[in-house]
Amino acid sequence: MDYSIIEDIVKKRVKNMHEINEKEIDKIIQCSIKILEFCKINSIEFDETAGIVFVSHITTFYERAKKKEYIKVDCELFAELGEELYKMGEKIIEIMNEYFNCIVPKDEILLISSHLGAMKERLNKEEC
């Protein structure tokens, strides 16, 4: 994924969000880059399509965290993700906390892990 498009993705996503300033936008952009780099180092390199969705998720999470409005996920749906992806999701949450200084519920770790799982599956199919 070409990281130069991250700024555009974030700015388009925050257009309808209230009370998000330029400093916050920059935090979201920097956080997204760091997360994508972490994923790449761990052999999950997002293509442009999946990267746009993932950066949009990070941006939307920031808004929800700011409002303290978290989502609930049926944990059983994510049982098949496995420990490796869950641990990567936990590390990504640590990165998000570094930039956003917020408490992240387990449900969010599962959602992030599902993005990782989907991209990993796509990469595995491409190798075949």
Domains and CATH numbers, the chain: 3-127 (1.10.1790.10)
Which residues are within 8 A (CB) of 55 and not within 5 positions of it... i.e. 6 or more apart?
Answer: 6, 9, 10, 13, 32, 36
Nearest to 57 by CA among 107, 97, 111: 111
Alpha-carbon distances of 95 from 34, 49, 109, 124, rounded to whole Å: 8, 22, 12, 26
What's the helix, strand, coil split of the chain in %, to 5?
Answer: 75, 0, 25
pTM, two decimal places: 0.89
Mean pLDDT (the chain, rounded) = 89
pLDDT at 77: 62
What integer pLDDT is reported at residue 78 of this predicted model? 66
Query: Stretch 84-104: mean pLDDT, rounded?
Result: 91
- Which is more confident, 72 or 47? 47
Question: Does residue 128 carry a pLDDT above 70?
Answer: no
Q: Ramachandran region of residue 19, left (φ > 0), alpha (ψ -120 to 50) or beta?
A: left
Mean pLDDT of 87-107: 90
User: What confidence score (pLDDT) does residue 55 get?
Assistant: 97
Q: Which residues neighbour 14 within 8 Å (Cβ) at sequence distance 6 or greater?
A: 20, 25, 28, 59, 63
Residues in the chain: 128
pLDDT reading at 11 higher than 90: yes
Does residue 123 surpass a pLDDT of 70? Answer: yes
Local confidence band at 80 (pLDDT 50, 70, 90 cut-offs) = confident
Integer Cα distance of 7 and 26 in angstroms:
8
The tens digit of pLDDT for each residue in 20-61 reads 999 999 999 999 999 999 999 999 999 999 999 999 999 999
